[in-house]
Amino acid sequence: MTLWWGVAIILLLAAAALLWVSARVSTTPHEQRAPRRQRRRIAPSESLLDWTLDYLLRAGIQLTPRRLVISVAIGLGILAVLLVVIDQRWSVFVLAGALLGGNLILGWRARRLRSRLRAQLPGYLEQFLRELAVGASPERAFQRQIARSAPPLRNMLERVWVRRELGLELHEGLVRESQLLKLSELALLATALEVNQRHGGSLRDILGSFVTLLRQQERGRRELKALTGETRFTAVVLAVIPVLIGGYILLTNPEFLSTMWHSADGRAALWLALGLELSGCFVMWRMLKAI
């Protein structure tokens, strides 16, 4: 238990240090902090803090550096208390479960955000084309459509326009946003704007074809989801059945599992079963994701 007390003290000291850093950041003059924030909005991740902020932003969570530091400090403090209160045998599992669960939640939020943006892009581009049809420039049409868009598309467009005001071209801001959100459709839109800016041509025809492509892709995704519904349901059933059987045995005959756990061979069999269950879930998840 001494080891966990030491780890808890280290985590508490780290939390105190982070809170102290956040206090120094909050007292720094605004003029000294502005150039750094502007560079972070334009350039890709330059540090661990920037990478973390971008990682959270990819999941739809927008935080300032100070709020992020305070959140991490509070999390370390809670983790230190849990390491002391919870039994030593379960502390590692709690820590691993918290990290894995948090990462899974952020990944799910990022996928959901990309799905919502893909659903909003065709309608936005159609409005964008109407602005171009009445003689507006691409930059003016882009700016006027920001206020008419709904979140989360509006938030993304505002970040692109901030980069435009800070010195980047419009297509460069879209490329940066596509890299941040892992959204290839924004990169294609940026390519269309760049080609029109450098070589000319009809931007309306290019974007019209692009809207048609997005509509076809969305229709294809829905058809694929309907066709693979039975396969996905079967995968869920196969993943849940071993867990349900194990829970049923634990409720009806706990002595059976207790005897296995207190013997070396039985414990090895239980760990092997857990490993096979996790590996099977991972393989089925990769198979479904590859469809």
Asked whether residue 10 falls in the same domain as residue 99, the answer is yes
pLDDT at 233: 83
d(CA 216, CA 11): 51
Question: Which of 89-103, 114-128, 156-170, 260-274 is the least confident region?
Answer: 89-103
Asked whether residue 175 falls in the same domain as residue 255, the answer is no
Please tell me whether the overall predicted TM-score, pTM, comes out greater than 0.75 for this model. no
15 pLDDT exceeds 50? yes
170 pLDDT exceeds 50? yes
Query: What percentage of the chain exceeds 70 in pLDDT?
Result: 77
Asked whether residue 127 falls in the same domain as residue 176, the answer is yes
Classify residue 33: in a domain, yes or no.
no
What's the gap between Cα 204 and its chain centre?
Answer: 33
- The whole-number average pLDDT for the span 174-186 is 87
d(CA 157, CA 143): 8
Asked whether residue 180 falls in the same domain as residue 254, the answer is no
d(CA 236, CA 131): 47
- The whole-number average pLDDT for the span 131-153 is 84
Dump pLDDT digits (tens) for 214-234: 888 888 888 877 777 778 888
Long-range contacts at 12-17 (CB < 8 A, ≥ 24 apart) = 12/76, 12/77, 12/80, 14/73, 14/76, 15/72, 15/73, 15/74, 15/76, 15/77, 15/80, 16/73
pLDDT at 13: 61
pLDDT at 3: 57
Side-chain half-sphere of 80: how many Cα atoms within 13 Å? 18
Asked whether residue 74 falls in the same domain as residue 109, the answer is yes
- The whole-number average pLDDT for the span 20-26 is 51
Asked whether residue 1 falls in the same domain as residue 18, the answer is yes
Asked whether residue 14 falls in the same domain as residue 81, the answer is yes
Classify residue 40: in a domain, yes or no.
no
pLDDT at 222: 82
| Those residues with Cβ within 8 angstroms of residue 114's Cβ, 6 or more apart along the chain or in another chain | 181, 182, 183
Classify residue 31: in a domain, yes or no.
no
Classify residue 194: in a domain, yes or no.
yes
Classify residue 37: in a domain, yes or no.
no
Dump pLDDT digits (tens) for 253-284: 888 778 888 888 888 888 888 888 888 888 88
Say which residue, 121 or 285, is predicted with more confidence.
121
Is 150 buried (19+), middle (13-18) or exposed (0-12) by CB count in 10 A? exposed
pLDDT at 11: 58
Query: Which structural domain, as residue segments, surrounds residue 273?
Result: 219-290
Torsion of CA 182, 184, 185, 191, to 10 degrees: 120
pLDDT tier for residue 78 given thresholds of 50, 70 and 90: confident
Torsion of CA 211, 286, 177, 38, to 10 degrees: 170
> What is the chain's mean pLDDT, rounded?
77
- Residue where one domain finishes, among candidates 203, 218, 233: 218
Asked whether residue 140 falls in the same domain as residue 225, the answer is no
2 pLDDT exceeds 70? no
Six-digit token pair at 28? Answer: 């720094």
- Residue where one domain finishes, among candidates 97, 113, 129: 113
Asked whether residue 193 falls in the same domain as residue 228, the answer is no
Asked whether residue 209 falls in the same domain as residue 223, the answer is no
pLDDT at 26: 44
Asked whether residue 259 falls in the same domain as residue 210, the answer is no
Asked whether residue 205 falls in the same domain as residue 228, the answer is no
Question: Which of 39-43, 102-106, 203-207, 260-264 is the least confident region?
Answer: 39-43
- Residue where one domain finishes, among candidates 113, 133, 166: 113
| Residue-by-residue DSSP string for 29-55 | -HHHHHHHHHHHHHS---SHHHHHHHH
C-beta separation of 152 from 116 below 8 A: yes
Classify residue 38: in a domain, yes or no.
no
Is 30 buried (19+), middle (13-18) or exposed (0-12) by CB count in 10 A? exposed
d(CA 196, CA 206): 9
Tally of structural domains, the chain: 3
d(CA 113, CA 110): 5
Dump pLDDT digits (tens) for 183-197: 888 888 888 888 877
Classify residue 85: in a domain, yes or no.
yes
Six-digit token pair at 201? Answer: 């041509």
pLDDT at 42: 45
Dump pLDDT digits (tens) for 30-64: 333 434 444 444 445 456 677 778 888 888 888 77
d(CA 70, CA 280): 38
Classify residue 42: in a domain, yes or no.
no
